[in-house]
Every structure is written in C-alpha cells, then in structure tokens.
Structure 1
Amino acid sequence: MAFTSELTCIYSALILHDNKVTVNEEKLNALIKTAGVTIEPFWPSQFAKALANIDIKSLICNVDAGSSAPAAAAVVSTAAPVAPEEKKEEKKQEESEESDDDIGFGLFD
C-alpha cells in the first residue's frame, strides 16, 4: 500500500507542477480525492514538506546528471572480467548441444 501511496503523491505533484499550481498538502489531497484513490493521510503532507523548497523542473531534468559517469565506470570495470567467462560457458553449452546431436536422436524425433 505504501508503494501505491508514494506513486499517487508523485503523480499528483507532477500533475500540479505541469499545470503550474503550487504543490502543497491541500492541493495534493484535493487531487488525490478527485482521483478516487485511498492512501495513508500522512503521505501528502510529507511530499508537500519535501517539495516546499525544491524546483521540481530542475529535479525532473537532472535526475541522472551526477551519477552517470561513476555508473559507467563501474559497468566498464566489471564488464571486462565477465566477458571471457561468458564465452567459455557459451562454448561448453555449444559442445554439449553438439554431443546430443551425435547420439542420433533428438527430443522430438
């Protein structure tokens, strides 16, 4: 239920921001009530407090701005050792498939 409540508040805040309405607890509650969604009553107040001094547009535009370079470096550093092992496993699987063909019959023959 908490996940649904969080998503409801997030979408409500985005709708209010998109319509250039100030995001506050009263507006969030009104939108949620109009949508007919039941959530725990503390969520709108928490989101209103969290978004009170934040520029939502910059938050949306910069979601992944700072973390892409370290994440890319982590992917590159872990991808190099994994690739040769995968190739070995693929060769073993191919060999085992070939050995099944040598028997002279298959699963659907």
Structure 2
Amino acid sequence: MAGSELACIYATLILHDEDIAITSDKIATLVKSANVTVESYWPSLFAKLAEKRNEEAPESDDDMGFSLFD
C-alpha cells in the first residue's frame, strides 16, 4: 500500500473517531499537518468512499423485542 493511501486512511479514521464530518478538505488538512504529500485526488476518493459507507446501521434483534436465545 502506498504512503498516500495509508495517510488518507489514517486521516479518515481520525475524523470518524472524533465524529467529524469526513470531507476531502479535512482529510487533506490532516495529511498536510502530518507533513505527508499526497496526490490531490486521494482525499476526494476517500471522502466519497466514506460518504457511501455512512448508512444507517441495520436494526439488531434487541430492537425487535426478541433474541436468538429467548
């Protein structure tokens, strides 16, 4: 895995962990503050991927009032 990809992965994880909206600008800012140079398209690719993955979690069995072991 290239350094550019890894830097964007870490930046995306940091933003997610801190409950900050994941945007290409914020990823680029984090990467730049870490003194890592990445190609300009990487932050936008990771932001788009995070946007697609940001769906509501499916309901668990606990929410339905029953479980497997009742």
Structure 1, unaligned runs of 5 or more: 59-109
Deviation >4 Å, runs of 4+: none
Give me the whole-angstrom Cα distance separating, in 1, the residues matched to 2:17 and 2:41. Answer: 23
Give me the whole-angstrom Cα distance separating, in 1, the residues matched to 2:33 and 2:43. Answer: 14
Scaled by the length of structure 1, the TM-score of the pair is 0.47
Q: Which residue of 2 aligns with 1:44?
A: 43
Match runs of 1:69-108 below 5 Å? none
After TM superposition, give the deviation of residue 54 of structure 1 in Å.
Answer: 1.0
The share of aligned pairs that are identical, in percent, is 43
Structure 2, unaligned runs of 5 or more: 58-70
Q: Which residue of 2 aligns with 1:97?
A: none
- More RCO (CA 8 Å, sep 6+): 2
Q: 1:31-52: per-residue Cα shift (whole Å, max 9, x none)?
A: 1111110111110011111111
Report the 3-state secondary structure (helix = DSSP H, G, I; strand = E; otherwise coil) of the residue aligned with 1:23: coil
Number of equivalences: 56
